[in-house]
Structures are given as structure tokens and as C-alpha cells.
Amino acid sequence: MSQENPLILGIESSCDETGVGLVRGTELLTNTVSSSMEEHVRFGGVIPEIASRAHLDAFVPTLQQALSDAGVTLEDVDAIAVTSGPGLAGALMVGVSAAKALALATGKPLYAINHLVAHVGVGLLDESIAAMTQGGQLPENLGALLVSGGHTEILRVRSIASDVELLGATIDDAAGEAFDKVARLLGLNYPGGPAIDKLAREGNAKAIRFPRGLTMPKYMGTAEAPGPHRYDFSFSGLKTAVARCVEGYEARGEEVPFADVAASFQEAVLDVITAKAVLACKEQGITTLLLGGGVAANSRLRELAHQRCLAAGITLLVPKFSLCTDNGAMVAALGAQLVMNGVAPSDLAFAPDSSMPVTSISL
Amino acid sequence: MRILTIDTSAVASAAILDFDPSNPVKTAEVVANFVTEDTRSHAEVLAPGVKSLFGDPITEGPALDAIVVGTGPGPFTGLRSGIAMARTLSFTWGVPLYGMMSLDALAHQVFDSPEYRNGVAVAPLAVRDFVIATDARRKEVYWAKYSAGAQLLDGPHVGPADDIFGVQVFGAGAGLYEEVLTANRCSVYEPFAQAQPTALELGRAAARKITAAGSLEAAGLLDSTPLYLRESDAKVPGPRKRALS
Ligand SMILES: [Zn+2]
């Protein structure tokens, strides 16, 4: 196997995207994604069983498409990488079973990798980021802010192949989940993120003061004596506050100012996310922050993150959108880093882990 | 003819069988067999199990004549791990893939078993129509009705064991709901009261069908579409719940 510039096939099935990507070293060859999002719209959120059924039917066609787009065959591939967690258990199981079959049928080594760390590794594939960093390496003193329908985390990345630490995370809903639930309250369609982003542009973000979760002193503490949730998030109380607010207007017989509610809700989520991420960077000596996850597409998140990072002297890296959402190329990108760093492949008997911690980069 | 069979409708299992489709007298030879009792860890154990069937999967896999996968019915997550495995092996090795209802495996096993009295075989186990029932969890069974010759007559269904009347019932579903079935004038045969479909029996059933038809193509096997029988539990959300009350 080429250890300098390995050709890696990456498989992703942790939520509602079936992804197969091919990467050579840090070069993106193809990123093929089949999404079951349309099938979840009428339910207002991802239904795990529907996602799992869709993964089973999408996997082989997506694999075939990826190989043909990249113009490579399975014989050319040096190793296979697959998301083994965190994610929806039944959905992970499909990608893991298929990846094991592929490894056993080809005799190629298999890497069971962490989905969250892969969201960081994907930065290596982005051309605008590569232009800012040195020769296929991620910058030193790196942090990551991951925001999606399934996760909301702040990570510290000392080494993408061997040392990643969780600084903070949501203790209840993911940010994207909060967007979906509030979208429903406001009569908007799933997925809620883009719908609220759009409506919020017509509203006043200061119209209603919604609570910022886990920002009280008892949770925050101080830099010297941090509280129990200094870098953590909570969005379930915010969702209830929005519901009460909307019902308050209705009870008073007033028209609900939907755009103001959307803008104020969005501001409450993104204010706390960016404030805590920047705080973590400043206190932990992080000088570059990488943004990942589907909510990275949110225009207000990008704006706030840019402003606050600039003010704090932190370099902000935002991969292009197709690399921010869940995909197989990010799995392949991390797989390539593991191969290049001589990490041993996974045993064929590994179990997918729906709550795999970020400290476990591969199994 | 050499086939690989995989079934994860209940336990995780896989087997390789060798047989001659032009010779109905000779029984299929079991080349290798893997089976586990575990019904909850298919994604872990199946791949090492399949690998253990081969000396060298990379040369022996592509030389197979077919892969036959059990399409259930069975608990969804486990069932999918076998079908995902079978579809991917078929694609990678370029070996044709067929599906077979998992309950057929038990039906053919019953068909092959003689009934003994005082150590003497007195008759085939099933002399009339019979039912195969397996555990569908949630107090229900997956079941199908077969003729004494193991031809599928009706099903597969999912529902309470109480839906089955007046027949012999075989399989783990029969053992679980013996009281209900007995009250419905069904009989449960103890040696089959815990039986689960396995890849080995699925392979024997497939070999019999292929041999009877004279070829793989004429055997009328299914494709690999899973027989879920149940919709996902998802409900379209109703009107908004109120936070104020
Ligand atoms: Zn993700």
C-alpha cells in the first residue's frame, strides 16, 4: 500500500446521507452522496428506521457511482474507511456491514473511524483552506466547532490522527434539531435551518430576548475555576421559550411576528454557540477554528463567527458546503491521515458505537 | 454448483454448499458453516463468520456460482446487516445474488425431518399443511403456511400468534406462544419449538429448489428486497402541542 499518498474509499451512513468518497492523500477525487432527506420532510425530522432502509438501498449504487466518477476500481484502493460512530445505531449498522463486506471481499485494510473527527479532517480536502495552510497539514493550535442536526461540539485537535479532545457539547438537543423543532412551531418546512435562516433575514433579531442556555455564572464559572458547563450548550429550554412566546401572541389575539421570532431565536442559538467557541479558543490557546456540520451553511452563523474570530485574532476556516454536511469524502480524508500516520487498521469484529467519544479517533 | 448463503433474520449465520443441479438424488454437501446463537450483534460477528468459511475469500469468492441471502421477515437491524453484506459481496465479486424467504429454511428443515415413535421413524414430520412461526418481538410472530411438501401456501405475515388456527406450528414463535396456539387447536412439536432459520438450512432449501428446477435461473428465487412486513413506527406529527396550558 502507498503510505505516502494512499487511495482511500470512505463510507458514511451515520444519519440520513449515504456517502461514498474517494481521496488520494489530501486530494479529493469524488464525493458522492445519496440523501433520504425528502422522505423525512413530512415527519419534520429524521426518522431512523426510514434512514436505515434508505441506506441499504442506496449503498451499492452510491459506491458504483463514486468509483465511476473517480475513474478508479476497487483494486486500486489502498484502504477502506467507515464511520463507526457516533450516530444513529441502525443507520451506522448498514454502512459498517457493507464496509466490512468490502474489506473482506477485497482483502483491503479497514478503518472504523469517528464521524466528528472526520468533520475536522475534511478541512484538508478544501482548496481554499489548503491554500492557507502548510503542505497538506492542518494548522497547529487547532479547534473545531461542529454544528449540525445531530451534533453541536467544540473540539481541540492536537493531532488529527492521534489526539482530539472534547471541550464542550450540547447536553440535550443538537442546534440543528432546535432549528427543525422551532421551524415546525413557525409553520416552516423541514429542514428547519435554511427555512429559518431565510425568514430571519426579514426580521429583527433584537425584537424578543430569548434565553441563552447554560450562560449563567453557576454554569460558566471563571477561566480559573470553570463551572460544570463552561463550554457546553443547551437548546431544549429555548425551544420551550419560543413555543410560549408564539402562544402568548395567539392568546392575546395578536398576529405572531414570525420573522422577528425566527430572527430572535436564531440569534439566541448562534450568539451562544459563537461566544462559547471563541471563549474556548481564547482560554485554551486555540488560534485557528474550523467550522463543520450542516449548520455551517447558515449565513448568520458564518457572519457572527467571522466577526468574533476576527475580533479575537482567531483564524476561521470554513470548508465549502458540500464538505461540511455529512459525506464519505470526510471519512476517506481521515482514513488517509490514519494510514499516513501508520495507525493500525481495525479488526473485522469491531462493533459500531452510536455514542463513540471523540477521544477514540478509530477503533 | 457452489453457493454462499447468509441469513440474519434471527441469528447471524452463513454457509457454503456444493451440489449438482442435474443430480436430484445426491444431497448438497456442506463445505463450511458458521452460526451464532446471538440475535443482537450481527454487525460484529457476521463479517468474521463469513470470512472463516473461506481459505482465501479473494480467490474463492469470485468463483462462487451464486449468493443466496435470507430476506426475512426478521427484526430489521439484524436483517439489514446480512442483506448489506450479501449485496456488497455480490457487487465486489461479480457473483449473482438471489433472495429467499427466511421462513423457507425452517419449512424445508421440517419437511426433511421424520417423526419418530419409540426410536422408529413412523412418518414425515409434517403430513398436512403446517405453519412456520418465528419471534417478531412486540408480542407478535412472523409466520407463513406451507403444504406438507414445503410449498408456500400463504404468507409471510406478522401478527399475534392468536391469528393461527388448527395446524402444526414449528419454529421459535411456536415455543414462545405455545399456550395461545394450543388454545387455538394448534400443536407444537418440542424439538422445533426453539428453532431459528439458519443459512445452512436456507442453503439446503435453495439447493433443493435449484435442483428441482434444473438451473439457478429457473428456480424462481427472489431478489434481495427485505421483507419488513411492518412500516417504520414514524408518525406524521399532528397539530402543535401547547406549552402553555
Ligand atoms: Zn455530521
Q: What cell was used for A43? A: 415527519
Tell me the count of A-B CB pairs closer than 8 A: 123
CATH of domain B104-192: 3.30.420.40
Residue A298 domain boundaries? 167-318
Instruction: Establish if A135 belongs to a structural domain.
Output: no
Q: What mean pLDDT comes out for the span A146-162? A: 94
Cβ pair B80:A251 closer than 8 A? no
Selected for mutation to probe chain A from B39, B54, B77 (highest A CB count within 10 Å) is: B77
Q: Output the CATH code of domain B2-102+196-213.
A: 3.30.420.40
DSSP summary character for residue A362: B
Q: Is the pLDDT of residue A135 over 80?
A: no
pLDDT tens digit string along B161-218?
999 999 999 999 999 999 999 999 999 999 999 999 999 999 999 999 999 999 999 9
User: Residues A340-351: pLDDT tens digits?
Assistant: 999 999 999 999
Kindly tell me if the per-residue pLDDT of B243 is higher than 60.
no
Binding site feature residues of A:
115, 119, 146-150, 180, 193, 197, 298, 326
Inter-chain residue contact B85 with A100, CB threshold 8 Å: yes
Average pLDDT over residues A311-326: 94
pLDDT of the residue at A42: 86
* Mean pLDDT for the stretch of residues A124-149: 88
- CB count in 10 Å sphere of residue B26: 10
Do A255 and A329 share a structural domain? no
Q: What percent of chain B has pLDDT over 90?
A: 81
In a domain, A46, yes or no: yes
Q: What is the pLDDT of residues A34-68, one digit of tens each?
A: 998 889 888 888 899 999 999 999 999 999 999 99
Tell me what the mean pLDDT of segment A201-221 comes to: 94
Whether residue A245 lies inside any domain: the answer is: yes
- What is the mean pLDDT of the segment spanning A165-185? 94
**Measured between beta carbons, which residues in chain B are less than 8 angstroms from residue A106?**
58, 92
Q: Is B42 on the interface with A (CB under 8 A)?
A: yes
Instruction: Supply the pLDDT for residue B239.
Output: 63
Query: Is the CB of residue B202 less than 8 Å from the CB of residue B102?
Result: yes
Which protein residues have their CB within 5 A of the ion that is ligand 1? A 148, 326
C-alpha A227 chain-centroid distance: 26
- Cβ neighbours of B93 in A, within 8 Å: 105
Of A128-132, A225-229, B27-31, B46-50, which range is least confident? A128-132
Is there a single domain that holds both residue A111 and residue A25? yes
Mean pLDDT within B219-226: 96
CA pair distance B28, B30, nearest whole angstrom: 6
Residues from chain B that touch A251, judged by Cβ atoms under 8 A, are: 244
Contact residues, chain A, for B243 at CB < 8 Å: 240, 243-244, 247
Rounded to a whole number, what is the distance in Å from the CA of B151 to chain A's nearest CA? 29
- The overall average pLDDT reported for chain B is 93
Q: What is the pLDDT of residue B25?
A: 83
Cβ atoms of A305 and A277 closer than 8 Å? yes
| B91 and chain A in contact, CB less than 8 A | yes
Q: Do A117 and A191 sit in the same domain of this protein? A: no
Contact at CB, B244 and A103, closer than 8 angstroms = no
CATH of the domain at A333: 3.30.420.40
Look-up of cell digits 473540539: A155
Chain-centroid distance, C-alpha A209: 28
A247 touches B at CB < 8 Å: yes
Residue ranges of the annotated binding site of A for Fe cation are 115, 119, 326
pLDDT at B132 over 70: yes
Residue B88 contacts A where some CB pair is shorter than 8 Å: yes
Instruction: Assess whether pLDDT exceeds 50 at residue B245.
Output: no
CA–CA separation, A290 and B14 (whole Å): 45
CA distances from A207 to A75, A204, A260, B152 (A): 59, 5, 6, 67
Report pLDDT digits (tens) over B64-114: 999 999 999 999 999 999 999 999 999 999 999 999 999 999 999 999 998
Task: Please check whether residue A352 lies inside any domain of the structure.
Answer: no
Strands B168-170 and B187-188: parallel
B232: confidence class by pLDDT, cuts 50, 70, 90: confident
Q: How far is the CA of A327 from the centre of ligand 1 (A)?
A: 8
* Residues A11 and A87 placed together within one structural domain of the fold: yes
How much is the pLDDT for B43? 83
Residue at A16 is within a domain: yes
B61 interfacial to chain A (CB closer than 8 Å):
yes
Helix orientation angle between A299-312 and A258-284, rounded to the nearest 10 degrees: 30
C-alpha B79/C-alpha B69 separation (Å) is: 10
**Residue A128, pLDDT score:** 86
* DSSP code for A20: E
pLDDT at A233 over 50: yes
Residues A175 and A308 in one domain: yes
The three-class DSSP label of residue A72 is: coil
pLDDT band at A2 (very low <50, low <70, confident <90, very high): low
- Using CA atoms, how far apart are residues A329 and A143, in angstroms rounded to an integer? 20
Q: Which of B158, B124, B197, B190 is nearest to B182 (CA)?
A: B190
More confident residue, B30 or A149: B30
User: Do A333 and A220 sit in the same domain of this protein?
Assistant: no
Mean per-residue pLDDT over chain A, rounded: 94
Query: In terms of C-beta distances under 8 Å and separation of at least 24 residues, what long-range contacts does A213-219 make, across chains too?
Result: A213/A237, A213/A238, A213/A272, A214/A171, A214/A272, A215/A272, A215/A275
| Orientation of helix A192-200 relative to helix A175-185, angle to 10° | 70
Confidence of residue B241 (pLDDT cuts 50, 70, 90): low
Is the distance from CB of B93 to CB of B62 less than 8 angstroms? yes
The full set of domain ranges for chain B reads 2-102+196-213, 104-192
- Whether A256 has its CB under 8 Å from any CB of chain B: the answer is no
pLDDT band at B140 (very low <50, low <70, confident <90, very high): very high
Non-local CB neighbours of A49 within 8 Å, separated by 6+ positions? A90, B76, B232, B233, B234
Please name the residues in contact with A222: beta carbons below 8 A apart, sequence gap of 6 or more.
Answer: none
Name the pTM for this structure.
0.95
The total domain count for chain A is 2
